[in-house]
Structure 1
Amino acid sequence: MDRRPGDSSNARLWRASAWAAAAGVLLTPLMLRAPWTVADYVTAAALLGCVGVMVELAVRASGDLAYRAGAAVAVAAGALLTVVNGAVGFLGSEDNPANLIFLAVLGIAAAGSVLAGFRPGGMAGAMFATAAAQVLAGAGALAAGLGSPGLDGVGEVVLGTCLFSAMWLASAGLFRRAADRISATPE
Structure 2
Amino acid sequence: MTLTKSILRVALGTGLLLLIPLAAKLFVPGMLWSPGDFLFAGILLFSAGLTFVLISRMGDNTAYRLAAGVGVAAGLLLLWANMAVGLVGSEDNPANLLYLGVLAVALIGAVVARFRPLGMSNAMFAASLTYIVVTAIALFIWKPTGAAAEPNVHLINVLVANGVFAAIWAVSGWLFRRASNTNSNQQLA
User: Normalising by structure 2, what TM-score?
Assistant: 0.85
1:50 and 1:91 map into 2 onto residues whose CA distance is 25
Alignment of 1:30 with 2:31, yes or no, is no
1:24 Cα shift? 1.3
2:106 and 2:164 map into 1 onto residues whose CA distance is 16
130-139 or 25-34, larger mean C-alpha shift: 25-34
The runs of 5 or more residues in structure 1 that have no matched partner are 1-5
Aligned ranges 1:26-175 → 2 under 5 Å = 26-33=18-25, 34-144=31-141, 146=143, 148-150=150-152, 152-175=153-176
1:82 Cα shift? 0.4
Q: How many residues align?
A: 178
2:117 and 2:150 map into 1 onto residues whose CA distance is 38
1:157 Cα shift? 2.1
Alignment deviations for residues 97-121 of structure 1 (CA, whole Å, 9 cap, x no partner):
1100000111111111111100000
2:117 and 2:90 map into 1 onto residues whose CA distance is 36
131-140 or 15-24, larger mean C-alpha shift: 15-24
SS at match of 2:154: helix
1:135 and 1:174 map into 2 onto residues whose CA distance is 20
User: Normalising by structure 1, what TM-score?
Assistant: 0.86
| Structure 1 stretches of at least 4 aligned residues deviating more than 4 Å after TM superposition | 14-19
Is the CA contact (8 Å cut-off) linking 1:148 and 1:154 kept in structure 2? no
Q: Provide the residue aligned with 2:28 in structure 1.
A: none
**Given residue 164 of structure 2, which amino acid in structure 1 is its aligned partner?**
L
Give RMSD over aligned pairs: 2.3
127-136 or 139-148, larger mean C-alpha shift: 139-148
The runs of 5 or more residues in structure 2 that have no matched partner are 26-30, 144-148
2:13 and 2:62 map into 1 onto residues whose CA distance is 21
Q: Provide the residue aligned with 1:3 in structure 2.
A: none
